[in-house]
Amino acid sequence: MNLYMKRKIIFFGDYFFSLYNKQTQQIKDKINRTLGLVSEMEIVPVKFLKHLEGTDIYEIRVRCGKNIFRIFCFFDKENLVIILNGFQKKSQKTPSNEILKALKLKKKYYEEQKN
C-alpha cells in the first residue's frame, strides 16, 4: 500500500468493469480520480462517498459534466474498500434493483471469503 493510501480498493468480480469499460476516456479519468480520493483522503466528503440509509452499502459518487455515476462498495476489515457494481444515474432516485444487486454481490463476496 502506498504511503498516501488510507484505504485499499479491491474490485469484486467484473461487475464494475462492465460499466467502466464502456465509458469515454474523460469519464474513466474522472472515475479514477474519484477512486483515488476515496483511497487517499482521511475523511471523504459526502460529495464523493455516501452511506445508503438502511444498508451497510456506500455509493461512490462521480459526476462528469451532465453524466452522473454511482459505484457501490462496502468496507471489509478496517481499511479495505470492496467495489461491487455501478451504474449511470438517469433519475433523482437510486433504483432499488441496483441496490439489491449490490447487496447480493456483497453476500457473494463473503461466501467466497469463507472458502
Assigned domain for 105 exists: yes
Which range of residues forms the domain containing residue 72?
Answer: 8-114
In a domain, 14, yes or no: yes
**Total structural domains in the chain?**
1
b/e per residue 43-69 (b: at least 16 CB within 10 A): ebeeebbeebeeeebbbbbbebeeeeb
CATH (domain of 60): 3.30.2310.20
Place of cell 469463507: 114
| Model pTM score | 0.91
Q: Are strands 80-89 and 67-76 parallel, antiparallel or unpaired?
A: antiparallel
Strands 80-89 and 49-51: unpaired
Alpha-helical regions (H) of the chain: 15-20, 25-40, 96-114
Q: Is residue 48 part of a domain?
A: yes
Q: List pLDDT tens digits, range 34-75.
A: 999 999 999 999 999 999 999 999 999 999 999 999 999 999
The fraction of the chain above a pLDDT of 70, given in percent, is 97
In a domain, 2, yes or no: no
